[in-house]
Amino acid sequence: MKTLGETLKEAREKTDLILRKVSAEVDIDQSLISKFEKNERKPTKEQLIRLANFYNLSEKDLIINWYSEKIAEELKYTEQTTEILKVAEEKINYYKTQNNGK
């Protein structure tokens, strides 16, 4: 399983581009892209979408990876991870039904 940073770095290397060129094309600071690739910082959702489009990667897959890393980072030292995720899924489904009723 690849991290988001590894996926972004691999995509850049496959296109044979240097950070400066990617930075200019997607309008994201070169040092930020470097930190994304090293997993030192997470891109915003908007930045992630720009990178997905530039590298011709699945936006859906990158967003899933992005959200899952945020959740995993938050829960990595928690013993009740499975229970928390189950309750969170139930709450999400509840919220969706509440929003549909409006």
CATH number at 8 reads 1.10.260.40
pLDDT by residue, tens only, the chain of 102 residues? 899 999 999 999 999 999 999 999 999 999 999 999 999 999 999 999 999 999 999 999 999 999 999 999 999 999 999 999 999 999 999 999 997 755
85 belongs to a structural domain:
no
97 belongs to a structural domain:
no
Q: Which residues, including other chains, have CB under 8 Å from residue 61's CB and lie 6 or more apart?
A: none
65 belongs to a structural domain:
yes
Tell me, what's the pLDDT at 62? 96
d(CA 72, CA 78): 10
Q: Which long-range contacts (CB under 8 A, 24 or more apart) does 12-18 make?
A: 12/37, 12/55, 15/55
99 belongs to a structural domain:
no
Tell me, what's the pLDDT at 101? 59
